[in-house]
Amino acid sequence: MAIATIAIIEDEESLVEALEYNLQRAGYRTIAARDGYAGLEMVRRERPDLLILDLMLPGIDGLEICRQLRKDMHLPILILTARDEEVDKILGLELGADDYLTKPFSMRELIARVHALLRRAGLSLPASAAGAGPAQILQSGDLTIDLTRQEVRRGDTPLPLKPKEYDLLLYFFRHKGQALSREQILEQVWGWDYVGGSRTVDVHVRWLRRKIEPDPSHPTRIVTLRGTGYRFEG
């Protein structure tokens, strides 16, 4: 299965990095440009499967890029806007954008929109989003994570997790046995769009422990490393 290529035109460097990191983790190939002219040129040259397009850009703005591309290209376009007022503009001008997200948005939401747009366009999704092979199930002790369905089970019982609890547990699974600092966890799981400090990590660990520890007051699965962070024992 060919890997879908997602193009990003966005001038905010930290957001480009977060988008690339999360899209690649979801199984996509990414290409990025930081201004309008370079972006337009990149899309025409590389013919990506989908475009994530910021509206306010140096060079040509996102609206004009949309207008230009729509003359001869049919790729799905997901618009990023900084303000709600711009949404009226996007919809009103009927630029042919397929979807939009207002900043700040969660990476989880963005990935879901990307999957949906690609599916609608009839493109195959990466294995992490589409296929249901055995490789998509992660297991540790009595816990299983079904990456395709984004479902967690403890034994045979489904374990309802909030989105960030799910992300955190997945991160722990992938770094089993490793000492992880709060800052590291915060950066990797919450990324650029988090608002809280590293206390956020502690709160979510506490919630997760209630759901996965045999005795949450004496945790053995997610152990606290004094003064630094946590280690997932499995």
Of 102 and 139, the one with the shorter C-beta distance to Ca ion is 102
Interface positions, 4-23, toward Ca ion (CB under 5 A) = 11
In angstroms, what is the minimal distance from the CB of 168 to Ca ion? 29
In angstroms, what is the minimal distance from the CB of 11 to Ca ion? 5
| Contact call for residues 33 and 42 (beta carbons, < 8 A) | yes
Of 61 and 99, the one with the shorter C-beta distance to Ca ion is 61
54 binds Ca ion (CB under 5 A): yes
Interface positions, 56-85, toward Ca ion (CB under 5 A) = 56
Question: Which residue has tokens 């979807």?
Answer: 99
Q: What is the dihedral sign for C-alpha 212, 190, 187, 229?
A: negative
Of 54 and 167, the one with the shorter C-beta distance to Ca ion is 54
**Residue 154 dihedral angles phi and psi, to the nearest 5°:** -115, 110
Of 37 and 155, the one with the shorter C-beta distance to Ca ion is 37
Of 54 and 165, the one with the shorter C-beta distance to Ca ion is 54
Interface positions, 141-180, toward Ca ion (CB under 5 A) = none
In angstroms, what is the minimal distance from the CB of 229 to Ca ion? 34
In angstroms, what is the minimal distance from the CB of 57 to Ca ion? 6
In angstroms, what is the minimal distance from the CB of 62 to Ca ion? 8
Segment interacting with Ca ion, rule: CB under 5 A, options 20-28, 53-61, 129-137, 165-173: 53-61
- Residues that bind Ca ion in the complex, under the rule CB under 5 A: 11, 54, 56
